[in-house]
Structure 1
Amino acid sequence: MQLLQVTTLLLMLLLLILLCLSHGASEMDCERWQDLDSAVVHKEGHVILAGLLPIHSKGEEQELSFVSSPGKRRCRGFNLRAFRWSQAMIYFIEEINRNPNLLPNITLGYRLYDTCWLVALSMRSALSAVSQPLKRNSTGACSSPSIPVIIGDSGSSLTIAISRLLNLFRVPLVSYFASCACLSDRKNFPYFFRTVPSDSYQASALARLIKHFGWTWVGAMGADDAYGRTALEMFSAEVTRLGMCLAFRAIIPKVPTQQQLQELVQIIRDSTARVLVAVATEEDMQPLIEEMIRQNVTGRQWVASEAWVTSTLFSTIYPSLSGTIGFAIRRADIPGLKTFLQNLQPLAEPYNPSAIEFWETQFQCSFNKDLPLSMGDPVQFNRTCTGQERIEDTETIYNDVSQLRVTYNLHKAVYAVAHALHSLLMCQKEGGNSDKQQQCPDILNLQPWQVIQYLKEVNFTNMFGDTVNFDEYGDPAGSYDIINWHKGEEGRPLEFATVGRFDSSLPTEQQLVIHQDKLMWHAGSKEVPVSVCSASCLPGYRKATRKGEPVCCYDCVPCAEGTISNSIDQSECTFCPEDLWSNPQRNSCVEKQIEFLSYTEGFGMALAATAILGVVATVTVATIFLRHRDTPLVRANNSELSFLLLLSLTFCFLCALTFLGQPSRWACPLRRTAFGLTFALCLSCLLSKTLVVLMAFRATLPGDNTARWFRPPQQRMGVFLCSALQCAICVAWLTTAPPYPVKNNWLYRDRIILECHLGSVALFCCVLGYIGCLAVFCFILAFLARKLPGNFNEAKFITFSMLIFCAVWIAYIPAYVSSPGKFTVAVEIFAILASSFGVLLCIFAPKCYIIIFMPEKNTKKYLMSQKVSR
């Protein structure tokens, strides 16, 4: 609010002066005005450039009565670095004046103002620059000397205030160190240009640097000005976009109290973040660094903005800051500048009050009291200055030209203005007497607004090979060096090592380059510091964000079965493809276990052995019957049907073996059709046997001729027809929709079951239904014949065998449905073997027992002696 009031009053004063000027200039001779501040370094020329520099780092508040003229401003904290900038600007202007190819026959002058890092004084200096003493021009009219451009200021807050003021007069402002991104707003700052990259580039570069080193949990601080606050906001947004988090955000006061410093250090001490990003100037950072050292807060990795990353003040006094890394604006070795700086003569013309203060401060002596001093507080020394002291015998930031970064930006700014003026001058020379000449501005009577278009079109390559131009927002490309503070030799200050670069003009993947082997961290360590809220989740785990905490604070949760994470810090586990499954570590997908009932596993071997045992038992029975085929028992039980039944049972046992092993294109149809045909043949034989028994009993009655329909040819025909019908169903099944192998991925998630798909479910039901019908019909007939004479009757054995057969297959249905995976096949094999053994044992075991162990009963007399049961 105070700044706004001061600004308003100054504007009113300026407008009043301009009104008086326009009213009285024609009525009186031109009068010389005094600068609002006397500590101005100036030199006349055809075109004068104004420079605003913070030669003093702090200002003293001044009471304004608005009754009398404001007194001389007092400042403190002589800034050797900024004084070097002022001398460098003089050197660059004199260098341009010596160049015959740039602005020929035109001499540049300068007026350099000390702004003392104060907004009010910066605005006061800007007003002084645009309201210079009047003089008569070639037409006799009064006009001000030509100051078409102002170069400055170094601080963003100062520059914002100055630029808003100069907008009223359409005076272009070219800054060498104001990097606030807000100044790129062409609506509010239409006449602003700069040679330092915008902080939008730096914010992006800082965030990408943080991400490069894996620091996901950092503290961020910014100065309490437009530069710090704007850069901090952009950095915070960029950090969040890249998936990182800020442990805290703090503002560093411009003039902090001891309590504010202690609170700020306490925040840093309590935070778990080990990386601190600071966007501020060295003047803002110094009190904070000193308080941290006083409280012995160590072990923090500093990431510096370009405003203090090359501060020789810190590198000389605070060796504990070794390992600091940050972005610095590009540097250059400017030839001749060091010699010029060392040849400074405090009493030479043009008069330079800041040079006198520098001399007294540097050599601890005092000049004659009659000399006007600069804006700094006078200090009396016991020794008198001679002016012959040698600057080259000292080592200060003033004559240290190893890190010319801001100075190089100042070089670009001065030369950009010179090239704009040169283009303006060439406009007149190339136009001749044409209309174009009339449109070109007169460089000897130049108005500031006439230079703006030429500044926009500036595009040249300087002596260092860098292209200097401005984009549509008045900004250069974002180009930085990455600086790392290395420990020097014993007793030497920290060294600024260039360990990489950032260039926004390159493709995204090439913009950030870091030389890892050159990096040196805190206390000389080569190991990258760690700054995370939670330790990284290893492969096999995923991040689970803690409720109410930032996304960088999380727990590591193992991936579920079937999902993996194959990199660190994955937020979600990814599902394996359908044919793959997660390994026990959950960090890679492996092929799913293929499961089927194999011959090699124990259960499969047991079933195969049982099936082979059944085949052996059946062959044994057939052998016994064959050897005793002429005995009454074998002949009485229809030996032909018995042998056919034994053959079908052999096939049934062998059929069980087809269900073992990996399903394939030929195995699936084989096992299903073999099952249907062998059991149809078996049941057909049993049905024929039952009918033969029934008809044999009926044939014993007088006058019954039924038996002639059940002689051996008719029996064979019956077995053939019953089997042929099943064969027809199987042929239809195989030709229309045969069974085929499939990979069952839905039953188990962790393994694949290889099984046979039925193909046509309807035809499979027909096969099973037909077998069921034969079994039921055979059971009914056998049950009806159960009371025939015991020694001659097979019906009761067939009845028991059918009971077992039906019981096994009825129990098979729920067991088949409920058995998972390969056990489904095992249940089916078990049902085949159980029903086959039931038929074999029930029908042939009693006969074999009699044949082998009771041969006395294997006689015709014994078989014919039984009576019909009542």
Structure 2
Amino acid sequence: MTGPGCKHIMQLTSALLIFVSVLWINGPTANRTDPVSCRLWSEPQMLGLYMNGDFVIGGLFSIHYILRSEQNTYTRPMDFRQLRFARAMEFAIQEINNRTDLLPGITLGYQIHDSCAAVAMSVKVAFQFANGIEPFLNETDSCSKSAAAAVPAVVGESNSPPSISMTRILGLFGIPQVNLSYIKWCDKRQYPAFLRTVPSDHYQAAALAKMVKYFGWTWIGAVRSDTDYGNYGMASFLKAAQEEGICVEYSEVFYRTDPRSKLERVANVIRRSTARVIVAFLASGEARVLLEELTRQPPPHIQWIGSDAWITHPEFLRFNMCAGAIGFGVPRSVIPGLREFLLDLSPAQALKSPLLTEFWESSFSCSLKGSSGGARECDGSEDIRALQNPYTDTSQLRITNLVYKATYAIAHAIHGVICNDTQIHQYIFSIKLCYILICKFA
């Protein structure tokens, strides 16, 4: 694959090769032996799922949601669908490690975190991906541990705001990020290490406008998340809608952590409007809190037109007002062996990860550790195969398949680098990995 992006990356590669050579020649000498002790400024973010390896790939998913109100901050229950995303990455790496034709003799590991759908958490994890989590570091010349990042590449995030904040940091360190969400921008000069698994939401917005026009709905309302995903997506939709002759009664915007009064105002606008068709360019977090608010005092029947972030999410089937909602989603896929992997989980295995422990305890309403809180102790009679929730449901593998493919793309890129040059400096490794991912898999 060739193009302006690849040409720019080749120019960047050449420039950085020269820069690295200068650093190598004029870098620290062996005569500097005065030890320097460095320490992390804060506690590292706890790992959700982890396995060591020759190359440890990073992963970030919104397994929980943090919500804030005027009174307090609380975390919503675990999103089992996002946990399935994380374990699909784990499954792909297990598959790759069992292959003889891909990375032979090399073991991949993983370091998977929960972003809680929060920008601050994503930023913290991004720095951990770059620097590692060792609390203390002793070097002879400086606090710069080495040129090596803790991870060679990252899969995620599945939500746009955390993903964008992470991109700005990882790009500075040359760590490729394979993204899972619709993001309008993809400036390779500004974000050379950013890759996507889905097209720009510009195309989704144009398709939604054509769908609305096809059904003859020319008087609509619009609501969006106050994020890059919602704002850019809705801007593209409104432009396309105007070209299609569609009139918009209102265009409301909010974020899930906004004051309750703002959410109530948006809900009241929807209840009082004359438009019975609403285009909702929302992340699942905003869609959830809006629908919960509308349920308090349901409006007349609404025809919902949803963006990909929530329209195929099984959680929204519980809202009666969403009956008949339509939109576009990532194509459904089949991943052989994934369901058996997800179900091959015992209490002993669940105890090895705080995420899997929480999943087990919340699914079966029991405690694996005999903790207090009134829950009975798990006795081994729990049957994971009898569970029916988004974790065990593999009939709608959409984003899950993107995680799977992203992990394989990174593995193939690492294979392409180390199989051609086993003696390679870490700076050069990062540059070549970016180059292969962008020019072959992007």
Q: Hey, what does 1:108 align to over in structure 2?
A: 108
2-structure distance, mates of 1:352, 1:23? 43
TM-score w.r.t. the length of structure 2 is: 0.83
1:381 is aligned to 2:383: no
Shift of 1:345: 3.0
Q: Residue 426 of structure 1 is aligned with which of 416, 419, 433?
A: 419
- What one-letter code is carried by the residue in structure 2 that aligns with 1:234? S
> Secondary structure at 2:311's aligned position in 1?
coil
> Secondary structure at 1:77's aligned position in 2?
coil
Q: Hey, what does 2:306 align to over in structure 1?
A: 304
Shift of 1:74: 8.4
Q: Cα distance 1:125–1:133, how it changes in 2: closer, same or farther (>3 A)?
A: closer
2-structure distance, mates of 1:237, 1:422? 43
Q: Cα distance 1:287–1:342, how it changes in 2: closer, same or farther (>3 A)?
A: same
> Secondary structure at 2:431's aligned position in 1?
helix
Shift of 1:213: 1.4
Q: Does structure 2 retain, via aligned residues, the 8 Å contact 1:133–1:145?
A: no
Q: Hey, what does 1:47 align to over in structure 2?
A: 55
1:156 is aligned to 2:157: no
Aligned pairs for 1:240-639 (under 5 A) are 240-315=242-317, 317-348=318-349, 351-368=352-369, 380-386=373-379, 389-428=382-421, 441=424, 447-458=429-440, 469-470=441-442
Q: Which runs of 4+ in 1 moved over 6 A?
A: 22-25, 29-35
Q: Does structure 2 retain, via aligned residues, the 8 Å contact 1:30–1:142?
A: no
1-structure distance, mates of 2:403, 2:43? 24
Q: Does structure 2 retain, via aligned residues, the 8 Å contact 1:148–1:449?
A: no
Q: Does structure 1 retain, via aligned residues, the 8 Å contact 2:157–2:163?
A: yes
Q: Cα distance 1:442–1:23, how it changes in 2: closer, same or farther (>3 A)?
A: closer
> Secondary structure at 1:230's aligned position in 2?
helix
Q: Does structure 2 retain, via aligned residues, the 8 Å contact 1:146–1:446?
A: no
Q: Does structure 2 retain, via aligned residues, the 8 Å contact 1:39–1:354?
A: no
Q: Cα distance 1:207–1:26, how it changes in 2: closer, same or farther (>3 A)?
A: farther
Shift of 1:449: 2.9
- Aligned residues: CA RMSD: 3.1
2-structure distance, mates of 1:39, 1:133? 10
> Secondary structure at 1:220's aligned position in 2?
strand
Deviations 1:445-489 (A, max 9, x none): 97433311011122xxxxxxxxxx32xxxxxxxxxxxxxxxxxxx
Q: Does structure 1 retain, via aligned residues, the 8 Å contact 2:219–2:249?
A: yes
Q: Does structure 1 retain, via aligned residues, the 8 Å contact 2:219–2:247?
A: yes
Unaligned 5+ residue runs, structure 2? 1-27, 139-143
Q: Residue 209 of structure 1 is aligned with which of 205, 208, 211?
A: 211
Q: Higher RCO, 1 or 2 (CA under 8 Å, sep at least 6)?
A: 2
Shift of 1:188: 2.6
Q: Does structure 1 retain, via aligned residues, the 8 Å contact 2:128–2:150?
A: no
2-structure distance, mates of 1:405, 1:363? 26
Q: Does structure 2 retain, via aligned residues, the 8 Å contact 1:200–1:234?
A: yes
Unaligned 5+ residue runs, structure 1? 1-21, 62-72, 371-378, 429-436, 459-468, 471-870
Q: Cα distance 1:349–1:397, how it changes in 2: closer, same or farther (>3 A)?
A: closer
Aligned pairs for 1:179-198 (under 5 A) are 179-182=182-185, 184-198=186-200
- What one-letter code is carried by the residue in structure 2 that aligns with 1:226? D
2-structure distance, mates of 1:349, 1:244? 52
Q: Does structure 1 retain, via aligned residues, the 8 Å contact 2:91–2:338?
A: yes
Shift of 1:230: 1.1
Q: Does structure 2 retain, via aligned residues, the 8 Å contact 1:31–1:133?
A: no
Shift of 1:408: 0.9
Q: Percent identity?
A: 34
Q: Cα distance 1:79–1:334, how it changes in 2: closer, same or farther (>3 A)?
A: same
> Secondary structure at 2:275's aligned position in 1?
coil
1-structure distance, mates of 2:112, 2:389? 22
1:170 is aligned to 2:174: yes
Shift of 1:32: 9.9
Q: Does structure 2 retain, via aligned residues, the 8 Å contact 1:50–1:149?
A: yes
1-structure distance, mates of 2:57, 2:307? 29
2-structure distance, mates of 1:231, 1:103? 39
TM-score w.r.t. the length of structure 1 is: 0.43
Q: Greater Rg, structure 1 or structure 2?
A: 1
Deviations 1:624-677 (A, max 9, x none): xxxxxxxxxxxxxxxxxxxxxxxxxxxxxxxxxxxxxxxxxxxxxxxxxxxxxx
Q: Does structure 2 retain, via aligned residues, the 8 Å contact 1:211–1:244?
A: yes
Q: Hey, what does 2:10 align to over in structure 1?
A: none
Q: Does structure 2 retain, via aligned residues, the 8 Å contact 1:119–1:158?
A: yes
Shift of 1:133: 5.2
Shift of 1:110: 0.6
Q: Cα distance 1:380–1:448, how it changes in 2: closer, same or farther (>3 A)?
A: farther
Q: Hey, what does 1:89 align to over in structure 2?
A: 89
2-structure distance, mates of 1:450, 1:74? 42
- What one-letter code is carried by the residue in structure 1 that aligns with 2:65? S
Aligned pairs for 1:230-249 (under 5 A) are 230-249=232-251
Q: Cα distance 1:237–1:46, how it changes in 2: closer, same or farther (>3 A)?
A: same
Q: Cα distance 1:167–1:450, how it changes in 2: closer, same or farther (>3 A)?
A: same
> Secondary structure at 1:168's aligned position in 2?
helix
Shift of 1:403: 0.9
- What one-letter code is carried by the residue in structure 2 that aligns with 1:367? L
Q: Residue 36 of structure 1 is aligned with which of 33, 44, 48?
A: 44
- What one-letter code is carried by the residue in structure 1 that aligns with 2:164? I
1-structure distance, mates of 2:82, 2:36? 39
Q: Hey, what does 2:122 align to over in structure 1?
A: 122
Deviations 1:327-367 (A, max 9, x none): 11112011111111111234338931100011111111112
